[in-house]
């Protein structure tokens, strides 16, 4: 039996395949990837050689114990029902559809269930993967999944009810960070300093990278970083004061809107899956 199957080779599915293989924690020949897009089948083989590919989701489920389901939330039920004859009590489904509850997947499939919130940062073999397991997932199975994902990220286990907020801080964060610093660059350009936008972006990105390394390699916290840079009565301190005055309201509003949007999406998904 193969170790890992993956159903759905879109943006996140292809990222997971590439990163997991690059990590060295699983070999291409230990995986099977299912996609209905025929043109992708040969592309996958060209990239990963001995990897197994199929158009048949059921074949992926028959051949592997751990099944990553990387399809849109409203497609999850269809995939589960199609594969159900081949799902055994030993099958461990790993769903990246955050708005589909584990209980629903368990009831439809009869399988053990893990929910995964991956991050684009795993393309760089870093960042956070959020994981929560159903009670039926054994310690050995948890260890396999978390060790596998540990090759491409830091793994954080969370309770299912905490996934939404945690996803804002991990999976969504690359987009949030890019938006914040895009606006910062726009503001710098409005100052008319003579610096090109290309130069400004490079300065910010390289400084972001170096700052992140300091946080990680020196185990520095936010307060310590501010204290190291913002000398008493200095220029940095003046800028930090502006952030402290104005940003709390911005971020409170961001969370209000994003979490409200998640509730709306979840209600639509649950309705579409026939859960209401």
Q: Are residue 240 and residue 149 in the same domain, yes or no?
A: no
C-beta neighbour count of 101 within 10 angstroms: 19
Domain edge (last residue) among 92, 126, 159: 159
Q: How far is CA 50 from CA 9, 10, 21, in A?
A: 17, 20, 11
Does residue 99 sit in the same domain as residue 23? yes
- CATH number of the domain within which 69 lies: 3.40.50.720
Of 124, 159, 194, which one is at a domain's C-terminal end? Answer: 159
Specify whether 101 is located in the same domain as 131: yes
132, two tokens: 């929560």
CATH (domain of 177): 1.10.3730.10
Residue 235 in tokens: 């220029």
Label residue 242 left, alpha or beta by phi (over 0 means left) and psi (-120 to 50 means alpha). alpha
* Cβ-based burial of 65 (10 A; exposed 0-12, middle 13-18, buried ≥19): middle
The reply to whether 166 falls in a domain is: no
Report yes or no on 142 lying in a domain. Answer: yes
Q: Is 130 found in the same domain as 12?
A: yes
Q: Do 48 and 126 belong to one domain?
A: yes
| 211 and 154 within one domain | no
CA distances from 55 to 28, 33, 215 (A): 17, 8, 44
pTM for this predicted structure: 0.92
Give the residue from 132, 159, 186 where a domain finishes: 159
Q: In what side-by-side order are the strands of the sheet with 92-95?
A: 52-54, 31-34, 2-7, 64-69, 92-95, 112-117, 128-133, 154-157
Radius of gyration of the chain (CA): 22
In this structure, the answer to whether residues 135 and 179 fall within a common structural domain is no
Domain annotation covers residue 73? yes
Q: What is the pLDDT of residue 2?
A: 87
Q: Based on the domain organization, do 77 and 184 belong to the same domain?
A: no
CB-side neighbour CA atoms (13 Å) of 136:
18
Q: Clarify whether residues 188 and 141 are in a common domain.
A: no
Q: How confident is the model at residue 276, as a pLDDT? A: 63
For 188-212, the DSSP string reads: HHHTT-S--HHHHHHHHHHHHHHHH
User: Does a structural domain hold residue 164?
Assistant: no
Q: Do residue 155 and residue 235 come from a single domain? A: no
Q: Which of 112, 108, 106 is nearest to 78 (CA)?
A: 108
Residues lower than pLDDT 70 in the chain:
276
- What total number of domains does the chain contain? 2
- Based on the fold, state whether residues 143 and 216 are members of the same structural domain: no
Return all residues near 124 (Cβ < 8 A) that are at least 6 apart.
none
Is residue 146 situated within a structural domain? yes
Q: What is the DSSP letter of 9?
A: -
Q: Give me the phi and psi of 159, to 5 degrees please.
A: -75, 150
Q: Render pLDDT for 85-123 as a digit per residue (tens, 0 to 9).
A: 999 999 999 999 999 999 999 999 999 999 999 999 999
Residue 134 included in any domain: yes
> Is residue 216 one of the residues assigned to a domain?
yes
**Structural domain contains residue 236:** yes
Contact 104, 130 (CB under 8 A): no
Q: Do 75 and 198 have their domain in common?
A: no
CA–centroid distance for 210 within its chain: 23
Domain that holds residue 53: 2-159
């Amino acid at each position: 039996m193969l170790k890992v199957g993956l159903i759905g080779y879109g943006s996140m599915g292809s990222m997971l395949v590439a990163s997991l293989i690059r990590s060295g924690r699983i070999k291409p020949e230990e995986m099977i990837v299912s996609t209905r897009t025929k043109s992708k089948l040969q592309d996958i083989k060209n990239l990963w050689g001995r990897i197994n590919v199929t158009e048949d989701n059921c074949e992926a489920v028959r051949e592997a114990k751990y099944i990553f389901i990387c399809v849109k939330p409203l497609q999850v039920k269809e995939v589960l029902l199609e594969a159900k004859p081949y799902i055994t009590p030993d099958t461990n489904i790993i769903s990246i559809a955050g708005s589909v509850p584990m209980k629903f997947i368990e009831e439809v499939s009869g399988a053990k269930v893990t929910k995964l919130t991956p991050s684009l940062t795993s393309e760089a073999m870093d960042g956070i993967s959020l994981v929560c397991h159903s009670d039926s997932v054994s310690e050995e199975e948890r260890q396999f999944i978390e060790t596998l994902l540990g090759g491409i990220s830091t793994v954080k286990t969370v309770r299912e009810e905490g996934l939404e907020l945690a996803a804002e801080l991990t999976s969504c964060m690359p987009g949030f960070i890019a938006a914040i610093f895009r606006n910062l660059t726009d503001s710098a350009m409005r100052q008319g300093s003579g610096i090109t936008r290309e130069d400004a972006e490079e300065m910010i990105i390289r400084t972001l990278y170096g700052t992140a390394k300091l946080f990680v390699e020196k185990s520095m916290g936010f307060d310590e970083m501010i204290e190291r840079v913002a000398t008493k009565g200095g220029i940095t301190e003046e800028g930090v004061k502006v952030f402290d005055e104005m940003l709390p309201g911005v971020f409170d509003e961001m969370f209000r809107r994003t979490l409200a949007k998640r509730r709306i999406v979840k209600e639509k998904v649950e309705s579409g899956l026939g859960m209401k």
